[in-house]
Amino acid sequence: MAVYTHVSDEALDQLLEEYSIGELLSCKGIAEGVENSNFLLHTSEGFFILTLYEKRVNEDDLPFFIGLMQHLADKGYVSPRPIENKTGHALTEVAGRPAAIIEFLDGRSVARPTPDHCALLGESLAHMHQTASDFHIMRPNGLGMGAWRPLFEAALRDDARGMIRESEKQEIESALNLLEGNWPSNLPQGVIHADLFPDNIFFLKNRVSGVIDYYFACNDYLAYDIAVCLNAWCFENDGSFNITKARKLLSAYGKVRLIEKSELDALPLLCQGAAVRFYLTRLYDWINQVEGALVKPKSPEEYLKKIRFHRDVKTVQDYGL
Amino acid sequence: MAVYTHVSDEALDQLLEEYSIGELLSCKGIAEGVENSNFLLHTSEGFFILTLYEKRVNEDDLPFFIGLMQHLADKGYVSPRPIENKTGHALTEVAGRPAAIIEFLDGRSVARPTPDHCALLGESLAHMHQTASDFHIMRPNGLGMGAWRPLFEAALRDDARGMIRESEKQEIESALNLLEGNWPSNLPQGVIHADLFPDNIFFLKNRVSGVIDYYFACNDYLAYDIAVCLNAWCFENDGSFNITKARKLLSAYGKVRLIEKSELDALPLLCQGAAVRFYLTRLYDWINQVEGALVKPKSPEEYLKKIRFHRDVKTVQDYGL
């Protein structure tokens, strides 16, 4: 839940002057997103989301994020559309922060996705990959494979209280060695969402009505995005892997964009890599948690179990294909 | 900012079944209110607020609060209307908590009220007092004058870290003696809001569009409600009293409901009492603050200064009348 920055009445009035979205009737902070401050605006023309980008988002990346959302929305994908102001810009400044007003999308995210939700996700992810294929800005993946070892070393360095067990260190060390030694070098690339967890997809009447939160989007292997989703959508709360959900996700994706043999072969390694990525960022936030912070960091433990699962996977058949 | 209780998809679907407000399209937690969890619902019929009453609200008081809002809305006052479900009840249960779906009202609260806002407030407060005069449920003021000494003693008892200065103790002690010895016994009574701070009033196009948050409302002296507002609306950030704002508030109120001479005479004491009430609840929360809590308690210091100001007021002329 996130409203980090207070926006004064004057700043709001000034903001609305910049846009042609009618008169402001109401503005409420909403408990959505972890990185940014979000407000629901009601104007005489409808409802909108005002996002203020806080310090965890690099300002230089905003043209990529906003441009990607515009590109996707222009081509009919279910991304919320950033609204352009009177001078044709979708990026502005409010209360000293970069900010954007974005279309309000209906729909609800699901806390416990069913196999059918996983199929809808797979289909929508493939559509996103296709729709973004001609997006012209590039953004390297700042949390891609090359970033994992430095992140692990930073976590070890900051672990003053000894929260990382010795056996865990060795496990991650050998996972990193394996990943670095075997990471594929020639898979289909493109724009990936890179953070497509269940809370970033809205469903309405058995279809996907919105895909939000593009603030980790970047260029990387498309199959790596599938691997992120297999991790985020196909494990049960007790840690078990739901092969039915994985099969639904993969086959629905494959009906829209054919998954190549090289991608299928690499999938177990990509899944292990994606699990390492979320394990490491959670570990880092866990170790560096601030007393009394608004957002309690998630335990990395869940992703340690996922690393182990994928380590034991031999072929893509273990994912239901 | 407050979303204390998670509401599952199933619970939401079940809730909407109880009501005739269309199909649920979206539900977002909103950062509004300190005591309760609030969600913005979008349905095929419009926007609504879902409030889950958390443990600081006594369940037995809910028929008073909900009934009062219904009564005010029925009679055309700008209170949000609690929506009745198919069985004619406005109070229900969600995720094990008492809950209500309430009308969404447009408008914005102002962080820095102008004298004109104070006039609009005064007029609206008087209308509320008149409109609620035939409301049939009674609720004694649990934070009225009789509650102040026990609250002070509880704060002293809990003050393990010695946060209350000796001189401050003596000041409060003598204020309590003065208030208890001189509290008026025969002023016009009725239903009061008792917490009408600027964040509880919405303005739109130079009028009051909403008065919300009736969860301290009770039966007490009507002029005590005016005293709460003089404290909450007429002091500047630097602690100075803005007599122009006070004059505007009082004269606008008086044009709707005549303020009797006995009420005017008692006003300095009522104002001092209201300042003591907010000083004490803030002091109590300050002393008993929970490490890492979502809501940081407000310092009582601001209200100590207000107690001193009213202590030196001789007559109601000092409030601009």
Contacts of A105 in chain B (CB under 8 A): 26
Nearest by Cα to B226 from B138, B306, B118, B139 = B118
Q: For B209-243, how does the pLDDT look when each residue is reduced to its tens digit (9 = 90+)?
A: 999 999 999 999 999 999 999 999 999 999 999 99
If you average pLDDT over residues B120-146, what whole number do you get? 97
Task: Report the chain A residue with the minimal C-alpha distance to residue B105.
Answer: A26
Please report which helix (H) or strand (E) contains residue B40, including its range. strand B37-43
β-sheet bridge partners, residue A101: A50
Q: Is B232 helix (H, G, I), strand (E, B) or coil?
A: helix
Q: CB-based contact (8 Å) between B197 and chain A?
A: no
Contact state of A108 with B31 under an 8 Å Cβ cutoff: no
**Among A244-258, B9-23, B290-304, whose mean pLDDT is lowest?**
B290-304
If you average pLDDT over residues B249-262, what whole number do you get? 98
Q: CB-based contact (8 Å) between B295 and chain A?
A: no
Contacts 24+ apart (CB under 8 A), B67-71: B67/B135, B67/B137, B68/B132, B68/B135, B68/B137, B68/B191, B68/B214, B68/B217, B69/B102, B69/B214, B71/B131, B71/B132, B71/B135
pLDDT of residue B1: 38
Of the partner residues A29, A110, A112, the one whose CB lies closest to the CB of residue B31: A29
pLDDT of residue B234: 98
Share the mean pLDDT of chain B.
Answer: 93
pLDDT of residue A36: 87
β-sheet bridge partners, residue B191: B219
**Among A48-57, A97-106, B4-13, B247-256, whose mean pLDDT is lowest?**
B4-13
Contact state of B202 with A26 under an 8 Å Cβ cutoff: yes
If you average pLDDT over residues B167-182, what whole number do you get? 96
DSSP output for B281-298? HHHHHHHTPPTT-SSPPP
Contact state of B106 with A1 under an 8 Å Cβ cutoff: no
Q: Is the pLDDT of residue A209 over 80?
A: yes
Length of chain A in residues, anyone? 321
If you average pLDDT over residues B56-66, what whole number do you get? 92
Q: CB-based contact (8 Å) between A138 and chain B?
A: no
pLDDT of residue B273: 98
Please report which helix (H) or strand (E) contains residue B306, including its range. helix B301-311
pLDDT of residue B298: 83
What Rg, from alpha-carbon coordinates, does chain A have?
20
Nearest by Cα to A176 from A152, A141, A143 = A152
CA distance to partner chain B, nearest, from residue A24 (Å): 8
Inter-residue contact A96 to A199 (CB < 8 Å): no
Please report which helix (H) or strand (E) contains residue B276, including its range. helix B261-287
Of the partner residues B8, B108, B294, the one whose CB lies closest to the CB of residue A26: B108
ipTM: 0.82
Q: For A280-293, how does the pLDDT look when each residue is reduced to its tens digit (9 = 90+)?
A: 999 999 998 876 55
Distance CA B12, CA A159 (A): 41
Residue B33 pLDDT level (bands cut at 50, 70, 90): low
CB-count burial class (<10 Å; 0-12, 13-18, 19+) for A254:
middle
pLDDT of residue A288: 87
Give a three-class secondary structure readout of chain A: CCCCCCCCHHHHHHHHHHCCCCCEEEEEEECCCCCCEEEEEEECCEEEEEEECCCCCCHHHHHHHHHHHHHHHHCCCCCCCECCCCCCCCCEEECCEEEEEEECCCCECCCCCCHHHHHHHHHHHHHHHHHHHHCCCCCECCCCHHHHHHHHHHHHHHCCCCCCCHHHHHHHHHHHHHHHHHCCCCCCEEEECCCCCHHHEEEECCEEEEECCCCCCEEEEHHHHHHHHHHHHCECCCCCECHHHHHHHHHHHHHHCCCCHHHHHHHHHHHHHHHHHHHHHHHHHHHCCCCCCCCCCCCCHHHHHHHHHHHCCCCHHHHCC
Nearest by Cα to B68 from B127, B19, B139, B20 = B139
Residue A1 pLDDT level (bands cut at 50, 70, 90): very low
If you average pLDDT over residues A166-182, what whole number do you get? 96
Q: Is the pLDDT of residue B106 over 90?
A: yes
Q: How many CB pairs under 8 A join A and B?
A: 78
In chain B, what are the domains?
A: 9-103 (3.30.200.20), 115-319 (3.90.1200.10)
Distance CA B221, CA A298 (A): 50
Contacts of B108 in chain A (CB under 8 A): 9, 12, 24, 26-27
pLDDT of residue B211: 98
Contact state of A28 with B32 under an 8 Å Cβ cutoff: yes
Task: Report the 10 Å Cβ neighbour count for B110.
Answer: 17
Query: Which pTM was predicted?
Result: 0.86
Distance CA B107, CA B109 (A): 7
Q: Is the pLDDT of residue A240 over 80?
A: yes
Q: CB-based contact (8 Å) between B116 and chain A?
A: no
Share the mean pLDDT of chain A.
Answer: 93
β-sheet bridge partners, residue A202: A210
Contact state of B31 with A31 under an 8 Å Cβ cutoff: yes
Distance CA B38, CA B100 (A): 10
Distance CA A306, CA A282 (A): 13
Q: CB-based contact (8 Å) between A10 and chain B?
A: no
Contacts of A30 in chain B (CB under 8 A): 28-31, 40
Contact state of B28 with A29 under an 8 Å Cβ cutoff: no
If you average pLDDT over residues B143-164, what whole number do you get? 94
Hey, what are A208's tokens? 């996907």
Q: Which residue has the tokens 């009601």?
A: A42
* Residue percentage of chain B with pLDDT more than 90: 85
Q: CB-based contact (8 Å) between A290 and chain B?
A: no
Nearest by Cα to B143 from B132, B155, B135, B151 = B151
Q: Is the pLDDT of residue A2 over 60?
A: no
